[in-house]
């Protein structure tokens, strides 16, 4: 069955999704996993709190001369944003550059070779010379903080970017989405025998189970973005001292990494 969804209707008996070819899909539960501009969320009239960071994520891939050993590299700057090189299979890396809008315009107008030269200089040659992967293209995405007023509605559950959009500086937007899927599966599989998977109580359990993790990640990423985007000297000095302090304490570093991976004591 193919077609584009054009209408979503829910009631006590279930959910119906009407397609543009006239077909109607029936289900007990609709999962909105359709991204930040979620059609499903819009059909449910779920409001959002929204804040633009005035940045765009510049994304593309490169080959590197030196092996990355599965390590992600990240540089925080006050004027050029946050630059991350993430490991890919082989000697390849993926760039996610959270660039202020004026700089993003410049980067998008440059050749891939020039962008590779910039990154080689920024990384101080840690990965050797970076080279464009042909016919690779550069993509750009506006960066925002987006908080839907709810991640559930009658017969509907939102997951991933449909449920929350955070700054990519911590690299955990996808992990949050995996957590949503895990939480929804747990709520549905653990339901009482007399409840179907779209039951209001089942969805309420899912929403409550995800509330803390989503809130903490939103607060952490938004706070870090504000912290690293300021060039106010006292804040900058305190920030750098704090990072150096944490870097010298392996126990704290391991605890932070475990928390970011979703592990609990």
CA torsion 88→93→96→102, rounded to 10°?
-160
CATH number at residue 192: 3.50.50.60
How far is C-alpha 6 from the chain's CA centre?
27
- How many domains is the chain partitioned into structurally? 3
Write down which residue in 119, 142, 165 finishes a domain.
142
Instruction: Check residue 65 and give its pLDDT.
Output: 94
Q: Which domain holds residue 249?
A: 234-260
Shared-domain flag, residues 108 and 221: no
Shared-domain flag, residues 133 and 103: yes
Write down which residue in 142, 169, 186 finishes a domain.
142
Shared-domain flag, residues 138 and 58: yes
As a whole number of angstroms, the distance between CA 88 and CA 96 comes to 13
Domain assignment of residue 27, yes or no: no
As a whole number of angstroms, the distance between CA 170 and CA 161 comes to 15
Shared-domain flag, residues 223 and 246: no
As a whole number of angstroms, the distance between CA 161 and CA 148 comes to 10
Decide: residue 133, CB within 10 A, 0-12 exposed, 13-18 middle, 19+ buried. middle
As a whole number of angstroms, the distance between CA 169 and CA 82 comes to 7
Can you give the length of the chain in residues? Answer: 265
Walk along the chain (265 residues) and give the pLDDT tens digit of each residue.
Answer: 688 999 999 999 999 999 999 999 999 999 999 999 999 999 999 999 999 999 999 999 999 999 999 998 988 877 888 899 999 999 999 999 999 999 999 999 999 999 999 999 999 989 999 999 988 789 999 999 999 999 999 999 999 999 999 999 877 888 899 999 999 999 999 999 999 999 999 999 999 999 999 998 898 888 777 777 766 566 555 655 555 555 555 665 565 556 555 555 5
Shared-domain flag, residues 40 and 167: yes
The answer to whether 229 touches 78, Cβ cutoff 8 Å, is yes
Token pair 């209707």: residue: 9
3-state helix, strand, coil in the chain (%, to 5): 40, 30, 35
The answer to whether 98 touches 168, Cβ cutoff 8 Å, is yes
């Amino acid at each position: 069955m193919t077609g584009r969804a054009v209408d979503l209707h829910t009631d006590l008996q279930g959910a119906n999704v009407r397609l543009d070819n006239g077909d109607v899909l029936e289900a007990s539960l609709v999962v909105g996993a359709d991204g930040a501009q979620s059609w499903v969320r819009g059909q449910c009239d779920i409001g959002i709190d929204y804040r633009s960071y005035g940045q765009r994520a510049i994304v593309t891939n490169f080959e590197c001369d030196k092996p990355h050993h599965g390590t992600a590299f990240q540089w925080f700057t006050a004027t050029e944003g946050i630059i991350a090189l993430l490991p890919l299979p082989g000697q390849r890396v993926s760039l996610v550059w959270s660039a202020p809008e004026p700089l993003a315009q410049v980067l998008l107008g440059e050749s891939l070779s020039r962008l590779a030269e910039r990154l080689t200089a920024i990384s101080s040659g840690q990965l050797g010379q970076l080279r464009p992967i042909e016919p690779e293209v550069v993509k750009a995405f506006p960066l925002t903080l987006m908080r839907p007023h709810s991640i559930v509605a009658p017969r509907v559950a939102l997951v991933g970017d449909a449920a929350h959009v955070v700054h990519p500086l911590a690299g955990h937007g996808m992990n949050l989405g995996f957590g949503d899927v895990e939480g929804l599966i747990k709520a549905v599989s653990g339901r009482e025998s007399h409840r179907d998977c779209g039951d209001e109580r089942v969805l309420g359990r899912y929403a409550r189970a995800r509330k803390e993790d989503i809130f903490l990640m939103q607060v952490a990423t938004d706070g870090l973005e504000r912290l690293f985007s300021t060039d106010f000297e006292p804040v900058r000095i305190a920030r750098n001292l704090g990072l150096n302090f944490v870097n010298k304490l392996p126990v704290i570093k391991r605890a932070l990494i475990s928390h970011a991976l979703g592990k609990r004591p």
